[in-house]
Amino acid sequence: MSKKGTIGILTGGGDVPGLNPAIRAITVRARREGYSVVGIRRGWAGLVDFVPDNSVDNRDNVIPLTHDAVNRAARTGGTFLHTSRTRPSFLPLANVPEHLRDAYTAEINDVTPHILKNLEFLGIDTLIPIGGDDTLSYADRLSKEGVRVVAIPKTMDNDVPGTDYCIGFSTCVTRVIALTHALRTTAGSHERLLVIEVFGRYAGFSAMLPAIAGAADRCLIPEHPFDIEHLAEILIEDRRNHPSNYAVVLASEGARLKNQKEMVFSNTEQDQYGHKKLGGIGDVIGSLLKDVSAKFNNGRRVNVVNQRLSYLVRCGEPDALDSIVPTAFGNLALDLLLGGQTGRLVCLRHGCYDSVPIGVVTSHKKLVDVPKYYNTERLRPSYKPFHGAPLFIMTSDY
């Protein structure tokens, strides 16, 4: 077949199960259609570090993708192209590669002209980035610069605007449910409260869906600050009503107490997108519950089991949905490309595969609609009519 052009694929941000199946789907379909395909390593970092010189070995930055390479990788989790949180429009001087040090000398640099030059040098006609709203916000920037972009959403939090579903979310929910049920044996054996911290910086979908599935009695989400005494009272009631004398609450990592100005961070260092690393709200809740529980338990304090699930829900192989949806997303990206449509984000909307303008990723934050989906009095999902709801109940109203 005659070569139609070159497609570049990259994965940015956190790893999730389902990335390798997406890379495989794009590569196999694209090569069948007559395109050559290259993988850009370490997200946007591969294009930042690339040296546009044929005498330089750039295998650490860009690699050709073949059927054999992607077929083997598709059975595994993570991303074989590797990933990073590099932001080319906001690159600290310490991250500017040696060959660009003369041209970029500020403390913070926008190296987009270098990225555009490298895309042209590599002959990449279309870029297919797979990532969350941070990674895709820079893809939107490149689209506005004239680069042909078709983007694919992925994130454990399911919080990319414009789509009901992001790659990685189903595996995350599946793991949270399984691990929470496993931890019940310890909580029940010791008659304790079980506090489990899960992903969710701004959006509480990864706590809400397991709670809908019965994994937890209560869930705490970033969209609704909670009162610790209110939580303690409800959990003690749940514990009292349970035959094994325990209760479970899932807490999104971005959840906040009332009157708490900021989320709980594990350290103060910020990444290139301005995010501090979250982690620790579960420990805060557990400590406070120990002290407050006596008020609602006849003066006797109830001990707490704390567990942060963290990377346990994003490692390993994808579940069924995160094997199927990435394959569909990859093929949808090629459908758009073959139809001459770029500047698009592939998506699932109202149960159907579709696409929206990529600019939606920077237009607003996708959050839980609290009045519609969350019972603030009972600190759990609302069970309103399900007729017409999407597969994962809570939709992105684009």
Going by DSSP bridges, is the β-strand pair 374-375/124-131 parallel, antiparallel, or unpaired? unpaired
Q: What is the separation of C-alpha 170 from the centre of its chain, rounded to a whole number of angstroms?
A: 11
Tokens of 191: 């008659």
- Assess contact for 396 and 164: CB atoms under 8 A: yes
176: left (phi over 0), alpha (psi -120 to 50) or beta: alpha
Write the CB contacts of 331 (distance below 8 Å, at least 6 apart in sequence).
25, 29
Beta bridge pairs of residue 180 = none
Residue 280: CA count within 13 A, CB half-sphere: 10
Q: Which of 157, 159, 164, 322 is catalytic?
A: 157
C-alpha distance from residue 136 to each of 142, 247, 347, 350 (Å): 10, 39, 13, 22
Q: Nearest-CA neighbor of 109 among 122, 120, 98, 93?
A: 93
Q: How many secondary structure helices (H) and strands (E) does the chain include? A: 11, 17
Query: Is 157 an annotated catalytic residue?
Result: yes
State whether the Cα torsion 254-259-260-262 is positive or negative.
positive
Tokens of 205: 């979908």
- Assess contact for 314 and 170: CB atoms under 8 A: no
| Rounded Cα gap, residues 174 and 390, in angstroms | 17
**Order of strands, sheet of 218-220, starting from the edge strand that comes earlier in the sequence:** 218-220, 247-252, 193-198, 304-308
Write the CB contacts of 348 (distance below 8 Å, at least 6 apart in sequence).
163, 164, 165, 325, 354, 390, 391
Q: Which residues are catalytic?
A: 157
